[in-house]
Structure 1
Amino acid sequence: MGFADADVLMARVSEAASAVDWASERFWWRVERVIRAKGRRPAFAGRTVATLAPGVTVVDDEVVVDVDQAENDHSLILRVAAAAAHAGYPISRHALLSLSGTATDMPAVWPERSKQALVSLLGAGQQLVGSIDALERYDLFSRILPEWRHVRSLPQRNAFHTFTVDRHLLQTVVNANAFVRDVARPDLLLMGALLHDIGKGYPGDHTAVGMDIVDRVGPRLGFSVADVGIVRSMVEHHLLLAETATRRDLADPRTAENVAALVVDPLRLKLLRALTEADSLATGPSAWSPWKCSLIDELTESVDALFAGVAQETRTVLPDDRFGDLLEGVRADGQLHARHERSGDFDLWVVATPDQRGLFAKIAGTFAVHGIDVIGAEAWTSADGIAVDQFQVPHSNAVSTDWGRLEHDLRGVVTGTVDIATKLAQRIRTYGRAHRRALAASPPRLEVLISNDASESTTMIDVRAPDAIAVLYRLASSLAAQGLDIRSAKVATLGHEVVDVFYVQRSGRTGTSRQIPARDHDALRDELKLSLTVE
């Protein structure tokens, strides 16, 4: 078809669809006006019904511009767009043509009036999308901010996203408007929202590229060196709170300490908290939930406490304190005992049984056989050797699950009367072809990160892999084969990828560090990758 690659084709299709949508929306808007007037020309047609600013008026429910009266300076385009967005009126085609014909290149450093006009436009809420889209029909917004041209109609690299990059950025700004009264610098929040993904579509890491772009754009827009540094840090760490909250152990004080070291101060923390929610809500329906919100709030509160000088303590959970009834049952008969309970939008399934090698993997495999998605897990062992594993599952799975049958299979797996590996192989053969990965512009990755810096007592293993059946089981089985105990795990599906994070310790170690020595990390990484590539 003559396109360089699939991204170019997708961008062209998106741009064409956007143009059709814009034109059709304006057409039907005019049709509705005629219908409201019952086919008659309104008495006020052609008359000014409101003045938004000098030379900027509303005529026939559209914003028009008298360039001679509107102080035609570098800020005019942004002032017109901001006035239209705040008033909730579309910019007329004639006004757009006038602005296009009189526009001049922005100076090397924007005047204060231009910067304030941009911030005003970004603070207009949902209506800013229509105003900027109208400007882009005539390449006006990209003329003001040339870096925007690269992300215009740019497809996302992950099906996790609903919008193209430019639309995602604008929707993030819209969402950020809900938090402008919660932060000390709302102007920087809006700028961070506009630029947080501006580095997408270039070679290399989009965050690093975005930071370089902010270093160029910020001073040009008239922001101070200090303000540019704050926006740059927002771009650098726009994923920090979400990834840490959902993929790290929040009970470990080092988690909050690591985040505090990166965030630096309370001002940036509050800006990042607001940006995180605005960004997640603009990503797609599965990117934000009450559960994720609670985790991010917990992390933010811990980091804020550190900034306030409040010491953090390790939250040690004793199995007998939380699961005494299950432990007593196991002590009485030596059998597996389990229960499930509702916890917000999720259900908790708790299993207590005499500890054995690979127990976590066996339970995870049983859940996979029953088609249950695990999104989080924690594990404890009592002083007398009883293991307690707690799994967090979506409530939708809980409603459709036959818990009696699941518990029966769990007992069989633990006692050895049920071969979970055979059952999983059968399920994979049966459902493997029907298990379709979400389409994305980039292939899914297989990456394994191993670090002893995320916790003082455990080794963190972060795995990104293509979405498939029983990924958690395969990884947990491989860890057990390497003599490692899983203390906690967090699981997430991001479109076509899964992200499994484990906090592990070496089995049977007392009196010495139970972390995995750095010299063994490469070998373990190879084993984990092998477990996901061998059928």
Structure 2
Amino acid sequence: MASRFDALPQRRAIIDRRAVADALANLPEAGGVSDMRNAATPILRAALEAGRAEIARRLEEAPGRGTEAASAYAFLTDQIIRLIHDFTVERLYPLNNPSAAERLTLVAVGGYGRGEMALYSDVDIAFLTPWKQTSWSEQVIESMLYSFWDLALKVGHSSRSLDEMVRMAKSDLTIRTALLEGRYVWGDTDLYDQAARLFDKEVVSGTARLFVTEKLAERNDRHKRMGDSRYVVEPNLKEGKGGLRDLHTLFWIGKYAYQVRSVPELVDKGLLTRTELRQFQQAENFLWAVRCHLHIVAKRAEERLTFDLQPELARRMRYADRPGKSAVERFMQHYFLMAKRVGDLTAIFLAHIDESFAGKGRRFGLPSLRRKPTKLDGFVLDRGRLAMPTDDFFAQDPVRLIQLFALADKHGLEIHPLTMRAAGRDVRLIDNAVRRDPKANALFLDVLASRNDPETVLRWMNEAGVFGRFVPDFGRVVAQMQFDMYHHYTVDEHSIRAIGLMARIEKGELREDHPIASVIIHQIVSRRVLYVSILLHDIAKGRRGDHSVLGAEVAEKLCPRFGMTAAETETVAWLVRYHLIMSDTAMKRDLSDFKTILDFAERVQSPERLRLLLCLTVVDIRAVGPGVWNSWKRQLLGDLYEAAEEVLRLGHKQTGRRERVSAKQAALAERLGWPADLMASYTARFPESYWVAESLDVLEKNARQIAEADGDGKSLAIIAAPQPDSGATLVTIYAGDHPGLFYRIAGAIHLAGAGIIDARIHTTRDGMAIDNIVVQDPFGQPFDEDDRMKRLAIAIEDALANRNRMADRLAAKPLARPRADAFAIEPNVLIDNRASNRYTVVEVNARDRPALLHALSHALFQAKVTIHSAHIATYGERAVDVFYITDLTGDKIGSQSRLKTLERLLLDAAGPASAKKAA
């Protein structure tokens, strides 16, 4: 490892150890050990800080030299440790005649042992003694540790005899791995050589197969913890899939099983080609550059590329904006491409390990095949994996590059990693002739719309580079991130996951989560229309313009090439163009307003399109990331689907609004069992809109709550009850109506730790308000614990009684998600008087923040309007709040001056400081 440091340019500019040693040697004898150590600390600290500043300066000048910076930090640490060691044993605890037991060697282990560090990396060091520690070695080790801590070095240390080292390495995989990378730093060289020989003989010898098995299992567990995808948009560049730890695992296995001492030796052992070695080194260099910059920017040992840090990293690494892609998106796309390269290298490397360690006819660490297909069109089986018979097999017929994956899907086979390597090498053979080949396109559609496991096979195709080469428009979104807090994956990963979810729904595996989609998928006329539309729905992301419109144009071009009919092409293009309309309508509009349903049905036009659109919408939302799909969204989409399906099925033969109200009132009377005169007086209290907006279950709960409150003479009644089917909690407030009621309720609900996702606000003809508000906790779950619901009711009661200054309490509440500050979102207000026959519809887009709804509803109070319903949707850092309002007389707001004032007030309220203005 010394040769690595030898290659560092101008090492003396990083630290001049001789000059620092002279300064330490010239320290006068003063006081005891502690005083001497305290006197040395400023000299060492100055040298450490100067060295770090020099490394940071070099990295700023050449931001892509990652491995050089990592080596420089390790070199600097080496020199500081050597200086501390020499000062400790020569000045603090000198020995004139040391015994054989009074020997000590310092061994760098783990990443530090590899000679790779970032600014805030741990200094992992082992203090080794020949036998049990003597009082001298204990004093030296303790004093050195104090010196490390005085310099604020984060030290991971162990103190062991040689026997203890061997025993613990045998019993603990983590210790064994750390010692595997052991590197001599300073101290007794003979003792270090003895330790190295013992480790090879007593620990490594004869245990290579076990080590490989354990390391691969450890790697798989780590991937699952980190999201099991290298395309998570806030990746962990050390532990995540495709990160530095995967490269380290390859080297560990190579070092343990093949006794290599450096990465280039993997080529000599036949484990990597020279081209693959260059790819390894490029990926390693890039990842280390990112990690070193990340530590400097974060000012701590940060390994996760969070949204708030990504823009600064992109700037430091000199990425620039390009049409359709920001600098940060280009930087992250480069990161994901490097992570993909790490994955490719891992697969190739493990194939060689498989060949070396597996018994004849068997595969190392993997299950045996249960069936053996015979018709493989020239491909062969290699221990159960699909392989090619000759190295020029793809060159003979490039269509085989598509056929490889179709056969893997058809027969449920894995592809041999060396064949994947060849596919990646020969991907350039896919030209326009192959793309237009009818057989190739038919094979591709077979995979895309497979009834087996299309997600896995498409991911393999993407990993090999075949997918993006065969469908160049898809190639443009490979590894492309969307710089927001809503989307968890890159565009290509999101699309492939959505296809996999559709396949699982079709098999009935997600019936509980998606009951409607699980039924109607089998009523769809053209399955391939559905699967192609899922593939293409985000195909135009990253281009200038609306990706839905541009994507429809891509679909019109691609579908005929795939062999689809004109009718299928038209349907796919429509689905791509309008793939957001169902989620937007369900989440942002009042579904009890019949014009919402009519407008949506008019756009959809046919039951088949509606079925296709629901399936596409479901998987599009769920494939965004974990936790995005929930029961509330399922209910909203289901309600919209059923209402629109009724319109499309019956055409204009709809039951009239008055008839529907009468039917609901009759059903409610039957449930309540009230006398006719009491029921008549009760129904007369409410406007027609109340009966349309609420379900029969909610109408019954409201009636019983109101009757009990009126019977007891209460002017305020609050009930909170979980709704298991919707995954939310319904809070019903019955109170005397007065201006500003809703904004006070919204503020109280926020202070109680809940969030409003839907609100239906009604006023009786005798001046009472009955508000049905749907809330969830910050994690999208029902607010369902008894003490939490009680706290919620008390907070609302206090707010309505004006018992405390709500504005002060809201201002004091800390921000929940400061990462959102990384995104520049300009507030936008859209006012629509055509979306509803009865209400003015106001949509506010703004950065999500605590108490935003409180601020917006307070602005509406200031504008002297009445809120009839509110619908809240969040997309990561972006909030979309929609209000159905009228003026105080119950009419739409038509005056342009009032609309301008309304827009100004809402824009002001959407600002970050607006919560303090609400009284």
TM over 0.5: yes
**C-alpha deviation, 1:137, in angstroms:** 4.7
Question: Hey, what does 1:185 align to over in structure 2?
Answer: 526
SS at match of 2:413: coil
Amino acid at match of 1:159: M
Aligned pairs for 1:157-306 (under 5 A) are 157-177=483-503, 178-179=505-506, 181-306=522-647
Partner of 1:311: 654
Aligned-pair distance for 1:312? 5.3
SS in 2 for 1:50: coil
The equivalent of 2:856 in structure 1 is 475
**1:460–1:26 CA distance, 2 compared to 1 (3 A):** farther
* 1:313 to 1:236, Cα distance in 2 relative to 1, 3 A: farther
Task: Tell me the residue number matched to 1:372.
Answer: 754
315-324 or 239-248, which moves further after superposition? 315-324
**Equivalent residue for 2:721?**
341
8 Å CA contact 1:373, 1:397 repeated in 2: no
User: Which residue of the other structure, out of 34, 53, 57, is the alignment partner of 2:380?
Assistant: 57
Given the two structures, how large is their TM-score scaled by the length of structure 1?
Answer: 0.88
- Superposed CA deviations along residues 333-375 of structure 1, whole A, max 9, x for unmatched, are 3521111112112111111011000101111111112221111
Residue type at the aligned position of 1:8: R
Which residue of 22, 42, 54 maps to 2:361? 42
Q: Distance in 2 between matches of 1:213 and 1:201?
A: 14
Which structure 2 segments of 5+ residues have no match? 1-316, 321-326, 507-520, 662-688, 915-919
Q: Is the 8 A contact 1:211 1:235 kept in 2?
A: yes
| One-letter amino acid matched to 2:482 | Q
Once the two structures are overlaid, the 10-residue window that deviates more, 155-164 or 72-81, is 72-81
| The one of 773, 778, 783 aligned to 1:397 | 783
> What is the CA-CA distance between 1:110 and the residue it aligns to?
3.3
Q: Is the 8 A contact 1:159 1:439 kept in 2?
A: no
Per-residue CA shift, 1:71-114, capped at 9, x if unaligned?
Answer: 96674322221111333333335545268278342349834433
Task: Decide whether the 8 Å contact of 1:447 with 1:464 is kept in 2.
Answer: yes
Identify if the C-alpha distance between structure 1 residues 126 and 366 changes in structure 2 by more than 3 Å, giving closer, same or farther: farther
Q: Are positions 1:410 and 2:726 aligned together?
A: no
Q: TM-score, normalised by structure 2?
A: 0.53
Report the Cα offset of residue 438 of structure 1. 4.4
Structure number with the bigger relative contact order (C-alpha 8 A, sep ≥ 6) is 1
Q: Which amino acid aligns with 1:83?
A: L
How far apart are residue 451 of structure 1 and its match? 1.0
1:487 to 1:49, Cα distance in 2 relative to 1, 3 A: same
Give the C-alpha shift of residue 174 in structure 1: 1.4
Aligned AA for 1:173? I
SS of 2:522's partner is coil
Q: What residue is the counterpart of 1:526 in the other structure?
A: 904
Pairing partner for 1:357 from 739, 763, 774: 739
What per-residue deviation string (whole Å, max 9, x for no partner) do you get for residues 172-200 of structure 1?
11122233534211011110010000011
Please, what is the CA RMSD of the aligned residues?
3.1
Deviations 1:418-456 (A, max 9, x none): 3322322232xxx13x5424477x533422221122221
Distance 1:193 1:72, change over 3 A: farther
Deviation at 1:506, TM superposition (A): 1.4
Report which of the two structures shows the higher radius of gyration computed on alpha carbons. Answer: 2
Deviation per CA, 1:255-279, whole angstroms, max 9, x where unpaired? Answer: 1111112112111111111111111
Range 67-76 or range 281-290, more displaced? 67-76
CA contact (8 A) 1:82 1:124 kept: no
Distance 2:602 2:706 in 1: 40
Q: Which secondary structure does the structure 2 equivalent of 1:393 belong to?
A: strand
Aligned mate of 1:84, from 388, 405, 408: 408
The 5 Å alignment of 1:418-457 reads 418-427=804-813, 431-432=814-815, 435-438=817-820, 443-457=824-838
Tell me which of 377, 382, 386 is aligned to 2:764: 382
Deviates more, 1:416-425 or 1:224-233: 416-425
- Partners in 2 of 1:84 and 1:321 — Cα distance? 56
> Deviation digits for residues 302-327 of structure 1, max 9, x if unmatched?
11111112515546434986523333
Task: Tell me the CA shift for residue 13 of structure 1.
Answer: 0.9
- Alpha-carbon spacing, 1:57–1:492, altered in 2? closer, same or farther (3 Å): same
Instruction: Give how far 1:27 is off.
Output: 4.4
SS in 1 for 2:591: coil
CA contact (8 A) 1:172 1:282 kept: yes
Distance in structure 2 (CA, Å) of the matches to 1:254 and 1:32: 63
**Cα 1:130–1:224, aligned 2, differ >3 Å: closer, same or farther?**
same
More displaced, 516-525 or 60-69?
60-69
In the TM superposition, residue 132 of structure 1 has moved relative to its aligned partner by: 3.7
* Cα offset, 1:244, TM superposition: 1.1
Where in structure 1 do 4 or more consecutive aligned residues deviate above 6 Å? 32-35, 67-72
Is the Cα contact below 8 Å between 1:467 and 1:497 reproduced in 2? yes
Q: Contact 1:450–1:460 (CA<8 Å) still a contact in 2?
A: yes
Task: Give aligned pairs, total.
Answer: 522
Distance 1:137 1:377, change over 3 A: closer
Q: Which residue of 2 aligns with 1:502?
A: 883
The structure 2 residue matched to 1:3, chosen from 319, 324, 328, is: 319
Contact 2:442–2:562 (CA under 8 A) maintained in structure 1: no
Aligned-pair identity in percent equals 24
CA apart distance, 1:150: 1.0
- From the superposition, tell whether residues 401 and 377 of structure 1 become closer, same or farther in structure 2 (CA, over 3 Å): farther
Q: Does 1:119 align with 2:445?
A: yes
Q: Give the corresponding residue for 1:143.
A: 469
* Contact in 1 for aligned 2:744/2:800 (Cα 8 Å): yes
Contact 1:90 1:130 (8 Å CA) reproduced: no
The separation in 2 between residues aligned to 1:3 and 1:69, in whole angstroms, is 40
